[in-house]
A and B are shown apart, each in its own frame.
Chain A
Amino acid sequence: MIIEVKDLVKRYKDFLAIDHLSLTIKEGEIFGLLGPNGAGKTTLTNTILGLTAIDQGTITVFGKELRKHEREIKEDIGLVPQDIAVYDELTAYENIRLFGKLFGLRGEALKNGIDDALEFTGLTHLKNKKPSQFSGGMKRRLNIACAIVHKPKLIIMDEPTVGIDPQSRNYILESVKKLNQLDCTVIYISHYMEEVAAICSQIAIVDKGRIIAKGTKEELSRLIVDDQVISVDVEAPDYTIIERLKNLHGVKDASIDGQTVRIVLNELKLNTVLSTFLEEGSTITKVATNTPTLEDVFLTLTGRALREGSR
């Protein structure tokens, strides 16, 4: 195990941010962490990095207890923060060199680390430019380069693709896969379900400080495999319909997004659902049935849309 978290508890006064959470991450995985804002993802990341004091539990990273070997453990971790964390006054090269030095690299190892990080992120030709001259995607790549200069065993990526163009997003996703092929374990935190589904070998869904489901994409989908997901488009949907639908026997979840009402059901027949709409006086414009996706799994398990509270 590269990370082993046991019975972790973290409180902020009366707010329970992490609620008796246990988690294991194997070496070589791309581990996806999914959860809405306030679910406890960042707090969990901070505790793994030793940035937040914990109230209860133990954290073991690389087989060493974090509390006793924090500095040693940090030498093999690279963090890609959600916000761009580079100096605008320094060039790309200088930024990577600075963080390389702070990771303890010197001489040839530092030079090689910088060159490899620049090459890996495709920024070699821009190494003498300052981040202010970069596009959003390039800045994100530099953000990654600063975290991999020391060739870490574990990389934590917090929303690394927020606010960038599809081309840069694909570049970063491919980079994550490449890093993983280079024996690097990756913890990938994202709101983008499709990204997590595309690259992660293991996925954990976090909500209210707990892990409510964990497994591969297929294993998670199997949790609601017997369920049916129906999307019903109606004119001027009324929120009272959600309550009525949820009260029906066999309906596991119901939510509304614009003009679309999404229902997860396991026992009920479609015509019962549609009758409920008609009884409410709704005008149905479209009905579709879907195979459950990771988004549906998340919705069913948490009762919340993943990007509901996203930044």
Chain B
Amino acid sequence: MREIVDVFLNTVKLNLRNRRALIFMILFPICLTLILGTALSNVGGNNMNESLHMKAAVVNQDHGIMAGQMEKFFQSKEIKKIVEMKTYQTLRAAESDLKSQKLDAIIIINRGFSQAAQQGSHHQLNFITSGDLESSVIKSIAESYLKRINAVQAAASVGALPEHTGNQVQSGSLISDHTLSINGKVPKSSDYYAVTMLIMIILYASNYGLDVVRESKKSPIGYRIRSLPVRQMNYLIGKTLGQLATVFLQIVILVTFFKFIYHANFGNQLGFIFLMCFLLGLIVILFSMALSLFFTCELADTLLNFIVPIATFLAGGYIKLSFLETNSITSTLRNWLPNSLAQNLIFQNIYGGSGVSTSEGILKLIFIAGCMLLLTAIAVRRSKNGDLSK
């Protein structure tokens, strides 16, 4: 245990003295965020409603009083400023447009919706979404309105409001109400890039993983350390934990800068953000270690130089492309890419939405981290059985 602590502390000390790596890991994402955030906010303007271009379909299968009220609400001027709503007669037609990316979401008012609402029994809207940020906003607006109707209905049923108002909720009052405000629900470009660049730089922590293998297998220091009465596994654990701690420290510095100096929106649950970043950092370091142990450090380095930008692109780190979310291949990839998962979970945590279930996403990340740990352990064992050379 003392060996692990000694190697851990030494690794952190060495990393903190490596100015070049620190500058890259901290200043690079800050500069990129400043450049991309500023450049794209000028192009898109500050009106995020316009830049989002949200499009939704309403499929009314109920045709009751409440359903009609909902439909009317979706067609109101205030809503049209935010979302382009279109009523579809059939679900099939709407689904077809969703598949061809003409829509971000479909809101389905099920048969029996009005009756259930009036009787106070369970009723809800159904959604089919592309899973992107826009669809989350649409869902949020629709659910907010439904909650408002329910609240008014409940108030009316206990005599707090005249009975007739239950079916006539004024949308105007809702628009000014917080339930329909998209403020804080959609990231500005600076907010968006603060998160995506943070995720991207964690991918570059792969260099720290490579460094563990480089030092232990290729450098004279590794040769000396193998001659010491130190268990190789303890040394690797200490070294890996030291690298992970360094990356985590960099994450804390970056989030602190983005949140408190750059004033990017990181929500109120920093613990959750740090947990996601920690899991991603662990996965990245273990993956790069396994890669360099199975192949060579040089080959692993080259592969990672390809993998990191591709993974960042697929997650929408450089630019948000809706086809990545709707295309079945890229969508599946995004569902399992650790950086994409962590990024989506962070966005959901900050802005709401339900693209990925939080618990499912975290479990997926833990599962991937477990697989990487297993893979690295196999790689270490395999290399231990091989011959070590200077």
Contact = CB atoms under 8 A, between A and B. Distances in A.
A in complex with B: yes
Interface of A: 12, 42, 46, 49, 51-53, 71-72, 74-75, 77, 79, 81-87, 89-90, 98-99, 101-104, 146-147
Contacts of A79: 223-224, 227
B223 A81 contact: yes
A231 to B, nearest CB: 36
Nearest to B14: A89
Given A84-B220, A103-B229, 18 more contacts: A12-B387, A49-B226, A51-B227, A51-B388, A53-B385, A74-B228, A77-B227, A82-B390, A85-B219, A85-B221, A85-B223, A85-B224, A87-B10, A87-B221, A90-B17, A98-B10, A102-B3, A146-B224
Given A87-B14, A90-B14, A101-B6, A51 B226 contact: yes
Contacts of B80: none
Interface residues of B, number: 25
Which has the most chain A C-beta neighbours within 10 Å: B224, B226, B388?
B224
A104 B227 contact: no
B224 A90 contact: no
Contact of B224 (A42, A46, A99): A99
B225 interface: yes
A93 B81 CA distance: 68
B382 to A, nearest CB: 13
Contacts of A81: 220, 223-224, 227, 390
B390 A83 contact: yes
Given A12-B387, A52-B388, A74 B220 contact: no
B390 A42 contact: yes
A242 to B, nearest CB: 34
B228 A102 contact: yes
B380 to A, nearest CB: 15
Which has the most chain B C-beta neighbours within 10 Å: A42, A46, A75, A102?
A102
B53 interface: no
9 contacts: A49-B227, A51-B388, A53-B385, A85-B220, A98-B10, A101-B2, A101-B6, A102-B225, A102-B230
A90 B10 CA distance: 9
B13 interface: yes
Contacts of B226: 49, 51
Interface in B216-243: 219-221, 223-231
B227 A74 contact: yes
B229 A75 contact: yes
B328 interface: no
B18 interface: yes
A33 B14 CA distance: 36
Contacts of B224: 79, 81, 85, 99, 146-147
Contacts of B227: 49, 51, 74, 77, 79, 81
